[in-house]
Structure 1
């Protein structure tokens, strides 16, 4: 446990108590009283408008909402660079520290209203440890609830190896993969020149070689097609042919023997070099392992903030594992957490880099509670409890959790309980399931289609499901996971009178466009009639589309190929809506009530007033046509890192959201209430899990 000196208590304990003012005679004057009443109240002070600028396409926009927390909530997406975190988090923390802590956890939230932005969360956690280490350390249990237990050793790992270690490893892996592909394409040809012309038997390296016809292999040219002479010409007839031929054959035989011997020598040298390289690589791995352990131990000994966080992580794993093994022994399996699943395995990369298994094992099996360890040398005690942690805790708990990795590692494909496989694991392993257990896995998928079984989809992002449509299973799993996701959200409510506007312009190329397609399609499927299955695009000639297609793949392709005319003229969408309303003389209550805008917020300039923002232009147009009370609520959903901010944080009728997760849509299911950027953010951070968070430094 942490020393008492590190326990600071909740934030309210740290607020200074108000000092009673000295009693003095109160003089009154009507003029002074009016001045104080009307100008000294900060609540009545004029609100300073946020700074303005232009989008990439020269449309006027705000560069901030006026609230640093709302800016962080709206601007941060999975592509946001670390420099923005380092710039914006101090501003948000100074504005409201507890709200900023909630926003950091909201980035990681897989459930509730979280954004499932794992990398963004790790970047923010890195900043939090640097500037507010006690706050990070004392909230580790809550952090595991927002994401999963594995986040905690991952944070320790990045603190030890560097913030960009995963990017570096990914780049190195890509280079190795590229090199392996090139070798794969040319490898056989490149290695065949080392193979001697054996006509059977075993090659020097132990591999069997197929028979080789005379003169082929070993670098010899094939016989001439029309006789023995060069260029296919017959030699001159005469008595010298036989003797000349014999001499040539003798020389060829001698050359071939010498060539074979030289090739055997080259192969032997190559094998010796390979053995040396193998030994060198093994030595480097041992040195790397030792270096990582030394780095972890050194950081633990000299850095009190890191040590405090390390101990809190170790405490959490130890407490959960001890509770889980008690529930296991009493057959209360439903109470077992996933701590055993995400606890580092003995000698895994996490364990080698953090030495976490030793710390956890010492707390699960403390020396003072187990007489068999009395008097045992500390190094031997550490070895024994690590092994005991594996055998007596991790192995039985992982087995009862029915983790697919346990069955895969034991080659027990036929025993995998597919209805227990998590959504991300299903996405990752489905092709292996088809390869090793095809009949039973296909039967499981048929049962899911028939409603006899279930498939998990909760932790996947909508665009991740769509991306897997082209995988080896033909998109069967993706179709079922998409249906499960839609059904789960419909159980929580529907979108009333809503329409999605999807930006599929050139600036959205890549992941943002896939997310725009996925979220737009999801809104259309959650909407009630008459808007169900409909979307509209940015375009000089926007059109309302009824999404065509009998399956998920065809629906996605339809949305991707919708016409956008090479621009993002946001105003034309509302011009069309107003035109339909005016032409049909619609009453305000019959107008569309809410519009989701999935975009990068880089709208085209459309107003003659250079400093009139897009939302101000919409307000003006609706007022001019007599529909000032029917301006639809607009949910600006940002999908690409940008400082463009459509409205200030206090603008009624607008919400500012961002990210790739569908979770924030839950705020609008069966919800026709008023919205405002700051109030929507507060609603997203109002869940029960957020109430456990505390700021301590």
Structure 2
């Protein structure tokens, strides 16, 4: 929820320049007209360029490279769209424009889906900031397409095919706040940039430098000449001067932000984005305030609740006047104008002073912003039982914990326990007994695992002050309980999409993956362990409750399903982890020797192996980095299996790092290439998802030969399955 700052922000210039297109539904055609279809000019028939086998062989060596551990590998899949799928994550920043430009040239529709898949929590990677960077490229190069698809960030378009007969209201790829973040980033010039100061300072202006503080805290630098003798100043006078300086600095910052905004609004591309965001908020706010008013006439409590479930979360995420997004964009003013323009269709009465012929634009904007806050946003937030409303009012015992979102629960469980210990404890007991639910499906599994590791360190730590230590231990235990419950919710939601048959995880626990206790949830070791644990829960028996770790030697880890996540994680610390990354040993020293020894038939071999790793494998025996005999680790493994009379298992290489190397190219049969920290991508390998995506794939195939090729298990087809989900069907390329 946006900040609840004072509605009348004296240092903020809340007005807007004249924007006539704001009230025109056809604003996009006015500001970003559709380009005329290109007419093909007559050209001479193309003559095939001459080829040379030796030169082709030399060109092929361009893709050969080495891992960080000097093993032969590849630099590209040789498919621009697949390379984009593998690199549009939270790590790659420098070459984003190049990657997206090449991908768009190969397939614009797939590339647009890849960009949205980055953001999608239910059906994609859930990488918010990476999505903003990719959207920035789309906004710069294809602005009409970018603006036309904004609604697919908050509309509930993600449905579970296994819940067709149930009350599945659907989920959105993102949320309403994405629109505000995109607009604010475009305003401050950070949309598409590598790092965003706006997102990580909470939208606050640069801190005001004050007198009398050291240079490291933003004060004045040391004097080059001896200071004059200090004259003692009256404290009240000093405070008045300081307040005056701060007020002047805020006013100056407010003026600067307003000048930036008015300058940006002269750009048709930015103006189109601005109007689109304002109109979409205003349209849904009109709908929701009408629904809320209608509910007041429904007497039956149950019927009223059913009616209120139609409310969206626009009331929660709409920008508060003077809040972090509004201070840079004045978007609240634009939304207020649009609501006032629709006043004849709304069940609320606007102040009569707005009809005065003498009212000036600033007065009108101030009144409308105040009206929006008091008579639209406040009632909607109360009706939606948003936890922040009760938290800010110190009404902790009125919070409906079952309605607290995943991230809010993760971040505020300590406050819930502190301010409402009895109520929150009772709620957690009900969750653990299955009587109530807790939100957790939108969290990344590595974040939940991080909470377990982080807070478990408080359990046995000896402190100087025993009572304080006991209190901290209680808080930590409570956080672990919350994390356990959210983990169980995550697993349950994934199981609703199906299960994975005949598959097991291979988890890289070598030194390059980072430390298990480092405190960084994005260290590759965390998502590797988390995703391995999840796969062990989603796999059908007898392939469930276990996975293989590898470093210098592979080791099978059997998981006790009766143990809690904390006990499971604590036990994993004692597995055999070393610095080496001997990937081949999993196959050459464990799986293949066991199959040969026990004469396992081909049909009884493990069908699919998921490799969660940073992909920086050691050089294996039988490999060569010579250009003529170049062979990746996977190639060596495949040859060894064939020599023993077996087909190599299907391998899903799940990249958790920023290196960008690959074991295979786009159409290598028997392999899939995935990346990111989200378990939602595992749905690609579940029965429900495979049927759905193949249905979409058949629409774009032209004959049976192509349909057969689309059935092959290879990196390109797996990528296409992941973006051919119906939730992405609404995306359109228009420029």
Task: Compute the TM-score of the two structures, normalised by the length of structure 2.
Answer: 0.74
- Structure-2 residue corresponding to 1:103: 114
Q: 1:667 and 2:684 equivalent?
A: yes
Q: 1:692 and 2:706 equivalent?
A: no
Which of 617, 633, 637 is matched with 2:650 structurally?
633
Which of 556, 572, 586 is matched with 2:585 structurally?
572
Q: CA deviation at 1:612?
A: 0.6
Q: Is the 8 A contact 1:468 1:478 kept in 2?
A: yes
Structure richer in helix, relative to its length: 1
Write out aligned runs for 1:51-62 (5 A). Answer: 51-62=63-74
- Structure-1 residue corresponding to 2:125: 115
Distance 2:132 2:79 in 1: 23
- Structure-2 residue corresponding to 1:4: 29
Q: CA deviation at 1:4?
A: 3.3
The one-character-per-residue Cα deviations of 1:358-383 (angstroms, maximum 9, x if unpaired) are: 00111111188579433343322222
The one-character-per-residue Cα deviations of 1:549-569 (angstroms, maximum 9, x if unpaired) are: 822123223335532331111
Q: CA deviation at 1:173?
A: 12
- Structure-2 residue corresponding to 1:359: 334
Distance 2:81 2:496 in 1: 31
Distance 1:95 1:644 in 2: 21
The one-character-per-residue Cα deviations of 1:597-653 (angstroms, maximum 9, x if unpaired) are: 11111111113333111111111011000003xx21111111111121111111111
5+ residue gaps in structure 2? 1-24, 51-55, 155-171, 214-228, 296-306, 345-349, 456-474, 515-519, 691-710
- Structure-2 residue corresponding to 1:622: 641
Q: CA deviation at 1:525?
A: 1.7
- Please identify, of 401-410 and 122-131, the stretch whose mean Cα deviation from structure 2 is larger: 122-131
Per the alignment, in what secondary structure is the counterpart of residue 548 of structure 2? strand
Per the alignment, in what secondary structure is the counterpart of residue 365 of structure 1? helix
Which of 501, 525, 530 is matched with 2:506 structurally?
501
Q: CA deviation at 1:456?
A: 0.7
Distance 1:315 1:569 in 2: 56
Q: CA deviation at 1:334?
A: 1.5
- Structure-2 residue corresponding to 1:602: 616
- Structure-1 residue corresponding to 2:693: none
Q: Is the 8 A contact 1:547 1:559 kept in 2?
A: no
Write out aligned runs for 1:417-456 (5 A). Answer: 417-456=400-439
**Relative to structure 1, is the Cα distance of residues 627 and 367 closer, same or farther in structure 2, using a 3 angstrom cutoff?**
closer
| Aligned length in residues | 584
5+ residue gaps in structure 1? 22-34, 40-44, 184-261
Q: 1:559 and 2:572 equivalent?
A: yes
Q: CA deviation at 1:168?
A: 7.2
- Please identify, of 164-173 and 308-317, the stretch whose mean Cα deviation from structure 2 is larger: 164-173
- Structure-2 residue corresponding to 1:232: none
Distance 2:106 2:574 in 1: 44
The alignment yields a C-alpha RMSD, in angstroms, of: 3.2
Q: Is the 8 A contact 1:54 1:60 kept in 2?
A: yes
Distance 1:397 1:678 in 2: 45
Distance 1:693 1:107 in 2: 14
Q: CA deviation at 1:491?
A: 2.6
Which of 348, 370, 384 is matched with 1:387 structurally?
370
- Please identify, of 452-461 and 49-58, the stretch whose mean Cα deviation from structure 2 is larger: 49-58
Report which of the two structures shows the higher radius of gyration computed on alpha carbons: 1
**Relative to structure 1, is the Cα distance of residues 652 and 572 closer, same or farther in structure 2, using a 3 angstrom cutoff?**
same
The one-character-per-residue Cα deviations of 1:251-294 (angstroms, maximum 9, x if unpaired) are: xxxxxxxxxxx99x96x556654553343223212221222122
- Structure-2 residue corresponding to 1:336: 311
**Relative to structure 1, is the Cα distance of residues 650 and 400 closer, same or farther in structure 2, using a 3 angstrom cutoff?**
same
Q: CA deviation at 1:8?
A: 5.5
Distance 1:309 1:287 in 2: 26
Per the alignment, in what secondary structure is the counterpart of residue 637 of structure 1? strand
Distance 1:560 1:135 in 2: 49
The one-character-per-residue Cα deviations of 1:64-84 (angstroms, maximum 9, x if unpaired) are: 11111111112333222x212
**Relative to structure 1, is the Cα distance of residues 14 and 425 closer, same or farther in structure 2, using a 3 angstrom cutoff?**
farther
**Relative to structure 1, is the Cα distance of residues 273 and 378 closer, same or farther in structure 2, using a 3 angstrom cutoff?**
closer
Q: 1:590 and 2:604 equivalent?
A: yes
- Structure-2 residue corresponding to 1:24: none
Q: CA deviation at 1:6?
A: 4.9
Task: Compute the TM-score of the two structures, normalised by the length of structure 1.
Answer: 0.78
Q: 1:657 and 2:674 equivalent?
A: yes
The one-character-per-residue Cα deviations of 1:78-111 (angstroms, maximum 9, x if unpaired) are: 222x212122111111111111111111100011
Q: Is the 8 A contact 1:539 1:569 kept in 2?
A: yes
Per the alignment, in what secondary structure is the counterpart of residue 196 of structure 2? helix
